[in-house]
Amino acid sequence: MLNVLFLCTHNSARSILAEALLNHLDRQAPVRRFQAWSAGSSPRTGQQPHPLALDVLQHAGVSTEGLRSKTWDEFAVPGAPHMDLIITVCDSAAGEVCPVWPGHPATAHWGYADPSAGDAPDAVKREAFRHTLHEIGRRLELLMNLPPEKLEKALLQDAARSLANH
């Protein structure tokens, strides 16, 4: 099983959507191959997943149980799950200096606009969250459909990075 960590700055929207959706899609697959987590480089004190992220996931039939905002430091300490692939999903997190991850996992950047940005009405933001979930889902399905040999450590980084263009 490949462990995938999705990173964003606050771990409240895009990374939460990616974590929940990959775990959901993988549970439906004939053979489980992925376990997803998410984290932020600098979640705010008391940060929680964005309510619209949770709403959009629930309306898509994706479980939100156990989702919480957390710092990436939780995954860089002894005893943390070993990550095979780390994907940044926002441009600011992609440009930050990341912790040194045990085992030197493959990395990729899949940039998405922040659906929570701005002061648009909730209905407009909800549609932005739906769109982001759909875009993340497209890439996750491509990742999940990669042949097993593309998921070998030596090829995983190139394969994951090539999906950023889809």
- Closest to 111 in 3D by CA, of 125, 92, 83, 130: 92
Q: pLDDT band at 44, cuts 50/70/90?
A: confident
Residue 148 lies in a domain: yes
Concatenate the DSSP letters of all residues of 35-69 into one string.
EEEEEESSPPTT----HHHHHHHHHTT---TT---
Q: pLDDT band at 85, cuts 50/70/90?
A: very high
How many domains would you assign to the chain? 1
The reported pTM is 0.92
Residue 163 lies in a domain: no
Residue 65 lies in a domain: yes
Instruction: Choose between 93 and 36: higher pLDDT.
Output: 36
Structure token digits, residue 103: 């085992």
Give me the mean pLDDT over the 43-57 stretch.
93
Residue 161 lies in a domain: no
Task: Give residue 88's domain range.
Answer: 2-156
Residue 165 lies in a domain: no
Residue 99, CA atoms < 13 Å, CB-side half-sphere: 19
Residue 76 lies in a domain: yes
Residue 9 lies in a domain: yes
What are the pLDDT digits (tens) for 95-150?
Answer: 566 666 777 899 999 999 999 998 999 999 999 999 999 999 999 999 999 999 88
What CATH number did the domain enclosing 7 receive? 3.40.50.2300
What is the Cα 82 distance to its own chain's centre? 16
pLDDT at 80 over 70: yes
Residue 164 lies in a domain: no
